[in-house]
């Protein structure tokens, strides 16, 4: 059905669920799966510099992002997906820029479906943390498959 799916991965159980759903959609077809991680160096600024094993916040974000992508690639291969691309994006601002980077990349690559997980935050946490999935939904014209987290994902 779909020839090219883009899956956003962040290392969480929720993004792993999204990846598993995408792999299931691909099944044994020859569809392309592109794994995308949006690294945000600002997330590492809360760490004390002595905890960083890299020269900069961006280097730490990129190193962690590459680990997430490698794990996601291995997971997709174990699910039988053979055509896999990986791509790391770096966004230095907040969720809105991160979402726009993902949407723009998926568009540029000719994706037919964008797949991502949502942590399902509500109330105060939604107000404080925002919703990456909601922002992607507002910015994308591509079909979206949003996989909601489960209670076991939050543990």
Which pLDDT tens digit goes with each residue over 112-142? 999 998 865 545 444 444 577 788 888 999 9
Q: How confident is the model at residue 55 (pLDDT cuts 50, 70, 90)?
A: low
Task: Give the tens place of pLDDT for each residue, 75-116.
Answer: 999 999 999 999 999 988 777 888 999 999 999 999 999 999
Measure the CA angle with vertex 43, ends 42 and 45; round to 5°. 65
Residues 6+ apart with CB under 8 A from 125: none
What's the pTM? 0.84
The Cβ of residue 93 has, within 10 Å, a number of other Cβ atoms equal to 11
Domain count, the chain: 1
Which CATH number characterizes residue 148's domain? 3.40.50.620
Domain that holds residue 57: 4-153
For residue 115, the surrounding DSSP H or E stretch is strand 113-118
Continuous H helices in 32-94? 57-78
> Distance (Å, rounded) from C-alpha 15 to C-alpha 98?
15
Q: To 10 degrees, what angle do helices 13-26 and 57-78 make?
A: 40
Tell me the torsion sign for CA atoms 145, 3, 98, 155: positive
Element containing residue 132 per DSSP (H, E):
helix 132-139
59 exposed, middle or buried (CB, 10 Å; 0-12, 13-18, 19+)? middle
For the chain, the distance separating the N- and C-terminal CA atoms, rounded to the nearest angstrom, is 34
């Amino acid at each position: 059905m779909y020839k090219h799916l883009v899956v956003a991965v962040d290392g969480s159980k929720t993004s792993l669920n999204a990846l598993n759903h995408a792999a299931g959609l691909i099944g044994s077809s020859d569809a392309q799966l592109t794994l995308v991680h949006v690294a945000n160096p600002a997330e590492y600024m809360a760490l004390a510099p002595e905890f960083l094993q890299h020269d900069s916040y961006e280097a730490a974000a990129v190193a962690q992002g590459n680990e997430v992508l490698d794990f996601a690639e291995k997971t997709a291969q174990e699910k039988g997906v053979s055509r896999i691309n990986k791509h790391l994006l770096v966004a230095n601002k907040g969720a809105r820029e991160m979402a726009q980077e993902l949407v723009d990349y998926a568009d540029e690559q000719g994706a037919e479906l964008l797949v991502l997980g949502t942590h399902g935050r509500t109330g105060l946490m939604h107000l404080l943390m925002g919703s990456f999935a909601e922002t992607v939904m507002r910015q994308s014209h591509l079909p979206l498959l949003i996989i909601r987290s489960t209670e076991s994902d939050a543990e």
